[in-house]
Amino acid sequence: MSAQNELQATVDALAQAGKGLLAADESGPTIAKRFKTIGVESTEENRRAWRTLLLSTPGLGEFISGVILYEETLGQQADDGEPLPQLAAHQGIVPGIKVDTGKIPLAHASGDEITQGLDGLAKRLEGYKAQGARFAKWRAVYNVSDTLPSRLAIEANAESLARYAAICQEAGVVPIVEPEVLMDGDHSLTRCAVVTEAVLHEVFHALNRHAVVLEHMLLKPSMVIAGKGHALHASVEQVAAHTVAVLGRTVPPAVAGIFFLSGGQTPEEATANLDAINRTGRRPWPLSFSYGRALQESPLDTWCGQPQNVREAQLALLKRARLNAAASLGCYDANEEIV
């Protein structure tokens, strides 16, 4: 298959109407933090057990088209010896891989951060592909205050995202471009809208400079939402209106799909907001989900590291996947939360 056909086939497999992505690519420190909430130690075996539980959920492929994995998981196996990326593929779920190596403070820009991982990326992608990964993810983060993010942070992170995306496409791997405007802080919805618009403008300028084919990439943005510490809680309609306005001004129609991150919203909020976004009318791109916490929180609480809870936890995951799939079509029924 030519590189272009390979990228197109992966995009088509990921951007299916009524399906979204599962982000299960927590780094070592992050998964340890999640496990701590249920009193489970983050050992390699516990991480394998948890991610096997997620990927072996019967019927998950009905609502989930792709899963983002962490490097360690690519090399792990289910109890019966099947490699976990293959287990996902057997469910009709495309395996992908987080390829950035995390964030550090941005030099000469107090309070801003920059994501690392470009060195040796082309070589690493060869290995990930051989292990079954067909798409990748790189997350840039933007802290928000009255003065943050700085122009420097907006430009530097856009440049890195674009370099990453170009390297992926050259390797026949579909890049998910993830610029996350953080919910931490007490900023308003309007401030988040201003920052998100500036961030996305810069990201698409950089993607253009690096000749990234928009049809062969996916965008994973944050929704336009007020900071967690802000006094006013915006309605789902306000979040939806601001989010689609900002995306409409910044994201070219050629982009194959937009898959939101949940970013610390509660599972129910993340579903309700996605639903409201899809009720605002037809858009040039599918608007779906690529949730980590908002999909995993309730199954994780149900599992608690106990083998006898696996089935129940899988049902909890399936429920959130099903409700988010409905929300991606604008037909989520909040009454289903209570059954």
Q: Which residues contact 110 (CB under 8 A, 6 or more apart)?
A: none
- For residues 18 and 264, which CB has a smaller minimum distance to ligand 13P in the complex? 264
Q: Which is nearer to ligand 13P, 56 or 265 (CB)?
A: 265
User: Given 98, 202, 220, 297, which residue is catalytic?
Assistant: 220
Cis peptide bond upstream of 149, omega within 30: yes
Which residue, 229 or 254, has its beta carbon nearer to ligand 13P? 229
Residues contacting residue 336 through CB under 8 Å, at least 6 positions apart? 323
The residue among 254 and 274 lying less far from ligand 13P, judged by its C-beta, is 274
Listed in sequence order, the residues at least 6 apart from 160 whose beta carbon sits closer than 8 Å to its beta carbon are 114, 115, 118, 138, 140
- Interface positions, 58-97, toward ligand 13P (CB under 6 A): none
Q: Does 291 bind ligand 13P (CB under 6 A)?
A: yes
294 makes contact with ligand 13P (CB under 6 A): yes
Site membership for ligand 13P, residue 261 (CB under 6 A): yes
**Sole window of 195-203, 246-254, 260-268, 307-315 interacting with ligand 13P (rule: CB under 6 A):** 260-268
Active site residue 103: no
- Closer by beta carbon to ligand 13P, 173 or else 294: 294
Extract the tokens encoding 104: 């550090």
Q: Which residue is nearest to ligand 13P (CB)?
A: 292
**Interface mask (CB under 6 A) for ligand 13P, residues 208-247, using x and -?**
----------------------------------------
Examine residue 23 and tell whether it contacts ligand 13P (CB under 6 A). yes
User: Total residues at the site for ligand 13P (CB under 6 A)?
Assistant: 10
Residue 65 or residue 79: which is nearer to ligand 13P going by CB? 65
Of the ranges 89-97, 196-204, 208-216, 292-300, which one interacts with ligand 13P (CB under 6 A)?
A: 292-300
Nearest Cα to 123, choosing from 102, 139, 99, 107? Answer: 99
Q: Residues 57, 65, 196, 262: which binds ligand 13P (CB under 6 A)?
A: 262
The token duo for 186 is 């007490």
Q: Do strands 113-115 and 103-105 pair parallel, antiparallel, or not at all (unpaired)? A: antiparallel
Q: Which of 178, 197, 202, 297 is catalytic?
A: 178
Rounded-to-integer distance, Cα 276 and Cα 266, Å = 15
Closest by CA to 321, choosing from 56, 20, 14, 10, is: 20
Q: What angle do CA 143, 206, 291 make, to 5 degrees?
A: 50
178: annotated active-site residue: yes
Q: Does 139 bind ligand 13P (CB under 6 A)?
A: yes
| Backbone φ, ψ for residue 332 (5° rounding) | -80, 135
Shortest Å, Cβ 141 to ligand 13P? 9
Angle at CA of residue 9, ends 5 and 11, nearest 5°:
115
Residue numbers 161-190 binding ligand 13P by CB under 6 A = 178
SS3 78: coil
Based on the number of CB atoms within 10 Å of its own CB, is 151 exposed (0-12), middle (13-18) or buried (19 or more)? exposed
Least distance between ligand 13P and beta carbon 263 (Å): 4
Among 66, 95, 227, 292, binds ligand 13P (CB under 6 A): 292
* C-beta neighbour count of 283 within 10 angstroms: 15
Give the per-residue SS3 of 262-296: CCCCCHHHHHHHHHHHHCCCCCCCCEEEEECHHHH
Nearest approach, Cβ of residue 68 and ligand 13P (Å): 6
Only segment of 7-15, 59-67, 121-129, 286-294 that touches ligand 13P (CB under 6 A): 286-294
* Cβ proximity to ligand 13P, 6 vs 118, nearer residue: 118
Active site residues: 178, 220
Interface residue list for ligand 13P (CB under 6 A)? 23, 139, 178, 261-263, 291-294
